[in-house]
C-alpha cells in the first residue's frame, strides 16, 4: 500500500505540474496522450486503494486563477465532466433517454449575464468556484451580441474559442514568441484573460453557447423543459450555438461516428464530444456527485494508434533561436490521412521517449488532428544532438530551464532569426513571389532549405523535402515553383528594394535606378557623393548604401542572386514625358479613376514625380477629391499655402502632358 500511495503522490505532482503549464502558463511539457495515461493510472490506483489524496486532479475541477483580473464567486459550483472513451458506455449511460450530443469545444468556458437586453457580466470558469471577470474583453468577441432583444435577465454558458484559421494567421503575426503558441486553446486563454481588451479584439475570439442557465421574464415555457429548446431560444436571440445532434440509446453510437467524420473539416478546435440529457426536469432530479454532474458525460476519442519505425530526427530552427526535434517515420494511416512526422517539442520529451533511429514506435493523432508519439517500444536512446545549427552551421547550445532541456542557436546572424528580411524580399513591391507567406518562408528556412535569397529560386532541388512538409503536397509545391519562376523576371529597382538596405524604400529605389538608367552595375557601384546628388538621397542613406555593397558577404549574396534571376535592365524612358519631374505629390482620400493609390503613384512616378506620405513645405500639390475636407492633410496644405487639386485636374495634366 505504501508503494501505491507513493506512486499516487508522484502522479499527482506530475499531472498538476503539467496542468499548470498548459492552462496557466501556456506551455506543453507532456503530450495529451501521456497526460491521459497518467491520469487513468491515478484513477485506477484511487479505486484500488480507496485513497484520494489532497490536490489530486481527479478531485479538482479547475486550476488556480493567477491574473490581476477582478475575481467573482460563481453562484453554483461549476463541475467538470466525467468521461469515457467507449461508445458502448456512452449508449449505456444514455439508456432510454433522449440526449444532445455536441462538440466539446477546446477553449475557455465563459458565463454571460444579460439584463435589460445588455451584456452586464462575463466571468470565466476559473477553478470552478471562483472565476475572473472579463466583461470588457467579452464585448470584443467577433460574434457575440452585446445587446439582445429580450429584456429579462438571462444567464448562459458557452465556450470562447479561436478557430484554426485565425490561430494560424494570428500566430504568424506575433513575433518573438517562444516557439509561438502551441495550440488555439492556449492562445484563446491568454486572449480572453488580457488586461487590455484591445488585444483581445485583435485575437478574433468567438463564442458558442452550449447551455441556458437561467432566465427571468416572459420567455417561451418550453425552455424550462427542453435543453434543445433553450439552445434554439438562445440562437433566436442572436447567439451562435454549439453544433449538436439529438440522439437516444439506439443511435448515439451512430451520432458519434457522424461527428468523427466531420473532425477534419471542423474549423473550431475540439477535444471530444459532450452528451447531455435533453429532459431538464429529469436532469435536475439527478443532482451531482462531489466531482461531476449526473446529467452530462464527456466522450474522448479513443486514439487510433499505429506502429511504425523511426527513420530520422530533423532539427527545425526557429526565429527565437530554438531548434526543435521532429520525428520522421515510415508512413502510417491515422484517422484517414497518411502521417510521416511528429513534433517532439524539445530535447526532454525526446529523451524521455528514449528514441533511437530504427526504433519501433507507436504514433497517434492528439484530438484526432495533431500527430504525436505515444510510446517507444524499443527505447534504444541513440540520438545524437547536433552540435551545429542546421541553418547557419554555427555551434549550438543545450539549455536547461525549469527541468526542460532545449537546443538553441546563439548566432545572431542565423537566417532563421531574420525571417522578416526574407518576407520583405518576396513581398509584392519587392520580388513579388506570390503565395510565399511568412509562415511558409519560416518553414523553409527552419528546414535549412532557404539559407539565402538565391535559395528561394532553387526550390526544385528540394522537391521531396517540400512535398513531405506539413501543410504541403505536390500541388502546393508546383504552385510555389511556378510563382518563383515568374518572380525571376524583375527590374533593378525591385531588386534594390528587395535587398532591404536601410532607408531604401520602393520610391527611393526607383529614383536611384532611374538615375543609373537601370544599369545594375552602375547602381551598386555608386559612390556616396554620387548618391547624394540624387534627389531624396541624403548622407545617412548614402553611407548605409555603400556599407551594404562594400560588405564582402553581401557582394557574394547579390552575385549568387544575379545568377538565378532575369534582370530587365532596358531603359526606354522618354525624357520628354517626364513633365512632372521636380514635383512632389501627396495623395489622400478616395479615388475615382484609379483602382487604388498604388496605381496613381505608379503613373505619377512614371512621369518623373515624387510621391510622399505627408504634407510638408516640399510638397508641390495635395491630391484630394474632397477639396473642402477638414482633414489634417488639407489643413496642413492650407497652412503652408500648398495647392489642393482633385483627381480630375491630375487626369487633365496627364492628358495634356504638362502641369497647369
Tell me the per-residue pLDDT of 173-225, one tens digit each, with 9 for 90 and over: 654 434 456 678 878 888 888 877 888 888 889 999 999 999 998 888 899 89
- Give the number of other CB atoms < 10 A from CB of residue 526: 20
Map 282-325 to HEC letters.
Answer: HHHHHCECCCCECCEEEECCCCCCEEEEEEEEEEEECCCCEEEE
CA–CA dist 421, 557 (Å, integer): 13
**Which of 102-116, 532-546, 626-640 holds the top average pLDDT?**
102-116
Choose the weakest-confidence range: 56-60, 66-70, 120-124, 648-652.
66-70
- Of 65-69, 201-205, 386-390, 395-399, where does mean pLDDT reach its minimum? 65-69
Q: Where are the beta strands (DSSP E) in 344-468?
A: 360-366, 370-376, 396-401, 404-409
Percent of the chain past pLDDT 70, that is, above it, reads 92
What's the CA gap between 268 and 107, in Å, rounded? 9
Kindly state the average pLDDT of the residues 545-563. 92
Q: pLDDT band at 234, cuts 50/70/90?
A: very high
Note the Cα 587 to chain centre separation in Å.
34
Structure confidence at residue 492 (pLDDT)? 93
> pLDDT at residue 169 above 80?
no
Q: Point out the catalytic residue in the list 104, 180, 204, 417.
A: 104
Top mean-pLDDT range of 159-163, 462-466, 529-533: 159-163
Q: What average pLDDT does this structure show over 514-543?
A: 87
Q: How confident is the model at residue 509 (pLDDT cuts 50, 70, 90)?
A: confident
Q: Is pLDDT at 511 greater than 90 in this prediction?
A: no
Of residues 423 and 546, more confidently modeled? 546
Q: How high does pLDDT run on average in the chain?
A: 84
What predicted TM-score, i.e. pTM, was given to this entire model? 0.52
| Per-residue model confidence (pLDDT) at position 576 | 59
pLDDT at position 66 over 70: no
Show the 3-state SS of 190-253.
Answer: HHHCCCCHHHHHHCCCEEEEEEEEEECCCCCHHHHCEHHHHHHHHHHCCCCECCEEEEECCCHH
Nine-digit cell string for 150: 429580450
Q: Which residues of 451-481 are buried (b: 16+ CB within 10 A; e: fewer)?
A: bebbbbbebeebeebbeebeebeeeebeebe
Q: What is the mean pLDDT of residues 25-45?
A: 76
More confident residue, 589 or 112: 112
104 is catalytic: yes
Q: Is the pLDDT of residue 574 over 80?
A: no
Write out the three cell numbers for 88.
Answer: 458502448
Provide CB contacts within 8 A for 407, sequence distance 6+. 315, 322, 323, 324, 325, 346, 347, 385, 386, 396, 397, 398, 399
Residue range 401-414: mean pLDDT, rounded? 83
Predicted pLDDT at 1: 60
Lowest mean pLDDT among 58-62, 258-262, 482-486, 560-564: 58-62
Taking residues 564-570, report their average pLDDT: 89
Amino acid at each position: 500500500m505504501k508503494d501505491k500511495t507513493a506512486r499516487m503522490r508522484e502522479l499527482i505532482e506530475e499531472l498538476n505540474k503539467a496542468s499548470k503549464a498548459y492552462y496557466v502558463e501556456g506551455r506543453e511539457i507532456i503530450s495529451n496522450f501521456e497526460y491521459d495515461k497518467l491520469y487513468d493510472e491515478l484513477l485506477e490506483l484511487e479505486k484500488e486503494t480507496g485513497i484520494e489524496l489532497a490536490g489530486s486532479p481527479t478531485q479538482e475541477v479547475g486550476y488556480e486563477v493567477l491574473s490581476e483580473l477582478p475575481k467573482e464567486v460563481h453562484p453554483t459550483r461549476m463541475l467538470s465532466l466525467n468521461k469515457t472513451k467507449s461508445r458502448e458506455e456512452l449508449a449505456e449511460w444514455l439508456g432510454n433517454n433522449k440526449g444532445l450530443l455536441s462538440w466539446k469545444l477546446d477553449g475557455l468556458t465563459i458565463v454571460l449575464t444579460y439584463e435589460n437586453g445588455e451584456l452586464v457580466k462575463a466571468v470565466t470558469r476559473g477553478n470552478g468556484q471562483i472565476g475572473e471577470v472579463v466583461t470588457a474583453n467579452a464585448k470584443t468577441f467577433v460574434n457575440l451580441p452585446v445587446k439582445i432583444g429580450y429584456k429579462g435577465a438571462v444567464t448562459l454558458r458557452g465556450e470562447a474559442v479561436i478557430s484554426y484559421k485565425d490561430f494560424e494567421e494570428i500566430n504568424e503575426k506575433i513575433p518573438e514568441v517562444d516557439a509561438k503558441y502551441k495550440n488555439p486553446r492556449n492562445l484563446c486563454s491568454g486572449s480572453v484573460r488580457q488586461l487590455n481588451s484591445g488585444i483581445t479584439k485583435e485575437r478574433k475570439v468567438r463564442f458558442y453557447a452550449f447551455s441556458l442557465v437561467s432566465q427571468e421574464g416572459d420567455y417561451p415555457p418550453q425552455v424550462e423543459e427542453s435543453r434543445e429548446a433553450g439552445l434554439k431560444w438562445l440562437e433566436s436571440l442572436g447567439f451562435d450555438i454549439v453544433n449538436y445532434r439529438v440522439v437516444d440509446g439506439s443511435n448515439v453510437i451512430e451520432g458519434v461516428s457522424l461527428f468523427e467524420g466531420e473532425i477534419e473539416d471542423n474549423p473550431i478546435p475540439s477535444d471530444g464530444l459532450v452528451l447531455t440529457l435533453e429532459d431538464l426536469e429529469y436532469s435536475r432530479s439527478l443532482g451531482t456527485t462531489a466531482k461531476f454532474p449526473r446529467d452530462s458525460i464527456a466522450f474522448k476519442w479513443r486514439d487510433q494508434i499505429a506502429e511504425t519505425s523511426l527513420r530520422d530526427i530533423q532539427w527545425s530552427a526557429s526565429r527565437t533561436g530554438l531548434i526543435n526535434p521532429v520525428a520522421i517515420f515510415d508512413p502510417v494511416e491515422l484517422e484517414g490521412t497518411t502521417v510521416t512526422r511528429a513534433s517532439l517539442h524539445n530535447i526532454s520529451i525526446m529523451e524521455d521517449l528514449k528514441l533511437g533511429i530504427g526504433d519501433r514506435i507507436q504514433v497517434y493523432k492528439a484530438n484526432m488532428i495533431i500527430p504525436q508519439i505515444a510510446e517507444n517500444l524499443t527505447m534504444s536512446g541513440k540520438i545524437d544532438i547536433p552540435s551545429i545549427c542546421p541553418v547557419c552551421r554555427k555551434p549550438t547550445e543545450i539549455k536547461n530551464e525549469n527541468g526542460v532541456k532545449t537546443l538553441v542557436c546563439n548566432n545572431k546572424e542565423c537566417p532563421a532569426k531574420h525571417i522578416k528580411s526574407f518576407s520583405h524580399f518576396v513581398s509584392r513591391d519587392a520580388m513579388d513571389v506570390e503565395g510565399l507567406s511568412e509562415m511558409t518562408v519560416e518553414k523553409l528556412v527552419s528546414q535549412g532549405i532557404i539559407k539565402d535569397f538565391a535559395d528561394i529560386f532553387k526550390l526544385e532541388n528540394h522537391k521531396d523535402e517540400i512535398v513531405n512538409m506539413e501543410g504541403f503536397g505536390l500541388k502546393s509545391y508546383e504552385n510555389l515553383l511556378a510563382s518563383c519562376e515568374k518572380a525571376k523576371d524583375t527590374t533593378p529597382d525591385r531588386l534594390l528594394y528587395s535587398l532591404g538596405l536601410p532607408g531604401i524604400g520602393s520610391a527611393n529605389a526607383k529614383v536611384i535606378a532611374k538615375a543609373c538608367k537601370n544599369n545594375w552595375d552602375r547602381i551598386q557601384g555608386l559612390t556616396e557623393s554620387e548618391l547624394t546628388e540624387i534627389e531624396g538621397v541624403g548622407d545617412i542613406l548614402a553611407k548605409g548604401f555603400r556599407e551594404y555593397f562594400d560588405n564582402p558577404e553581401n557582394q557574394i549574396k547579390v552575385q549568387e542572386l544575379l545568377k538565378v534571376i532575369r534582370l530587365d535592365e532596358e531603359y526606354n524612358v522618354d525624357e520628354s514625358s517626364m513633365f512632372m519631374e521636380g514635383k512632389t505629390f501627396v495623395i489622400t482620400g478616395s479615388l475615382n479613376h484609379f483602382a487604388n493609390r498604388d496605381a496613381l503613384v505608379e503613373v505619377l512616378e512614371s512621369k518623373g514625380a515624387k510621391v510622399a506620405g505627408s504634407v510638408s513645405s516640399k510638397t508641390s500639390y495635395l491630391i484630394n477629391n474632397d477639396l473642402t475636407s477638414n482633414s489634417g492633410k488639407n489643413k496642413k496644405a492650407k497652412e503652408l499655402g500648398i495647392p489642393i487639386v482633385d483627381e480630375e485636374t491630375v487626369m487633365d495634366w496627364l492628358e495634356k502632358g504638362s502641369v497647369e
